[in-house]
């Protein structure tokens, strides 16, 4: 529909301009990137809340990645000098959120508002804390090194605070409302077959070690599945937090880490465009070629091509009769020259006619039935183009 195409075009334009603006901010104004972060993330979160509410997906917005973005917003607007909050946000934005891009195969797909928003939700906090760490605002004193254990302790403390809040909201406050199967949550989304990505890997592993029986599937309403996902996400968070202290201490290691993650993001986007759109892309050109051929046949009043399987040796076209068989080719003087010129044009017209419609008058070559009037069935696009050119030249 035109409205959807327009939305995708606007999303593509906005995505490209947004990425360009973010690049400009990091390269030219890294100390002021917090302003750019707020300018991007607030409209995107409001827009996502509105769109997801219409789809009944709004409970996605209490997931961990959104809570980290809310914490980053508080950091920028109210607590820009509070070191513990900055370190906690650095740990989560650089660890679990950034690592979610390759883990969940996030893709930089410019025409998809949903995908580009997901990329910004996971990537912008990491860029914000990168700039805060290496280009701190005036007056902010940050430690030069972090301890691995201290960082892990702080990160898991804040993570488990969110996890308890999530369980309280979904299992106590909203449990009656969430019995509606039409409301989508992250665990329902992840446990809906067919499993992909990390969910598929976890399911296979649990079958191998015997936690799940052969053929047993995840059930989002079962506490066994809920405990599995809480445990798996906790393990993932611990692993993602481990390199954070080293990234805090080294500018080049931190920069390389983020570049690698964003390369994966762009690679996933390229795979999406090529693999998903390749069939439609080819069909588009096939359709154009068929339309051009049909237009040429209509212009020349040629019959539509027959199916090869229904033709007699058919499909073969009659060739232009020889010059000797054409009348008026033996004249002499000016009249003979005129006749020769007319003959050449007649031959060209006959050749064009042979290639595009039924054969013109004249003897048939041996082995070709006289009734074979549909030689177009075996014409290639190149032959059709040459025939069109010959016909036009002959009629000028």
Query: By C-alpha distance, which of 57, 163, 168 is closest to 118?
Result: 57
pLDDT tens digits along 114-140: 999 999 999 999 999 999 999 998 889
pLDDT tens digits along 249-267: 999 999 999 999 999 999 9
Q: What is the pTM of this model?
A: 0.70
> What per-residue confidence (pLDDT) applies to 157?
97
Which ranges constitute the DSSP H helices of the chain? Answer: 2-28, 33-55, 64-77, 83-92, 98-103, 113-134, 148-168, 186-190, 197-209, 223-241, 244-249, 251-271, 277-299, 333-356, 381-395
> What per-residue confidence (pLDDT) applies to 275?
83
- Whether pLDDT at 271 is above 50: yes
Structure token pair of residue 257:
């880490």
- Whether pLDDT at 91 is above 70: yes
Angle at 204 between CA 228 and CA 226, to 5 degrees: 15
pLDDT tens digits along 193-248: 888 888 999 999 999 999 999 889 999 999 999 999 999 999 999 999 999 999 99
- DSSP letter at 273? I
Where does the pLDDT of residue 360 fall: very low under 50, low under 70, confident under 90, or very high at 90 and above?
very low
- Whether pLDDT at 366 is above 50: no
- Whether pLDDT at 326 is above 50: no
Where does the pLDDT of residue 111 fall: very low under 50, low under 70, confident under 90, or very high at 90 and above?
confident
């Amino acid at each position: 529909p035109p409205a959807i195409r327009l939305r995708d075009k606007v999303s593509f334009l906005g995505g490209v301009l947004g990425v360009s603006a973010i690049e400009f901010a990091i390269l030219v104004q890294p100390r002021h990137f917090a302003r750019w972060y707020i300018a991007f993330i607030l409209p995107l979160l409001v827009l996502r809340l509105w769109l997801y509410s219409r789809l009944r997906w709004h409970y996605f917005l209490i997931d961990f990645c959104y809570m980290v973005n809310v914490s980053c917003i508080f950091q920028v607007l109210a607590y820009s000098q509070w070191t513990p909050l900055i370190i906690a946000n650095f740990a989560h934005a650089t660890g679990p959120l950034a690592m979610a891009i390759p883990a969940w195969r996030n893709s930089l797909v410019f025409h998809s508002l949903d995908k580009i928003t997901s990329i910004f939700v996971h990537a912008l906090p990491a860029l914000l804390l990168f700039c805060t760490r290496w280009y701190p605002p005036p007056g902010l004193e940050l430690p030069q090194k972090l301890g691995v254990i201290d960082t892990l302790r702080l990160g898991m403390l804040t993570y488990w605070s969110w996890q308890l809040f999530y369980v309280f909201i979904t299992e106590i406050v909203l449990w009656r409302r969430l019995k509606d199967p039409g409301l989508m949550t992250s665990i329902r989304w992840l446990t809906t077959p067919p499993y992909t990505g990390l969910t598929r890997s976890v399911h296979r592993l649990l079958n191998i070690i015997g936690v799940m029986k052969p053929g047993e599937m995840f059930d989002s309403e079962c506490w066994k599945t809920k405990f599995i996902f809480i445990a798996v996400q906790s393990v993932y968070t611990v692993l993602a937090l481990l390199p954070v202290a080293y990234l805090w201490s080294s500018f080049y290691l931190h920069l390389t880490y983020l570049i690698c993650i964003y390369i994966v993001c762009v690679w996933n986007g390229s795979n999406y465009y090529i693999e998903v759109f390749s069939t439609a892309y080819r069909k588009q050109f096939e359709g154009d070629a068929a339309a051009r051929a049909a237009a040429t046949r209509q212009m020349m009043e040629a019959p539509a091509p027959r199916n090869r399987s229904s033709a007699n040796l058919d499909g073969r076209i009659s060739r232009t009769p020889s010059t000797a068989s054409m009348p008026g080719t033996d004249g002499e003087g000016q009249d003979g020259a005129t006749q020769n010129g007319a003959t050449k044009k007649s031959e060209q017209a006959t050749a064009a006619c042979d290639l595009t419609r039924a054969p013109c008058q004249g003897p048939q070559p041996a082995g070709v039935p006289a009734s074979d009037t549909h030689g177009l069935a075996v014409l290639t696009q190149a032959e059709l183009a040459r025939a069109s050119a010959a016909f036009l030249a002959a009629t000028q």
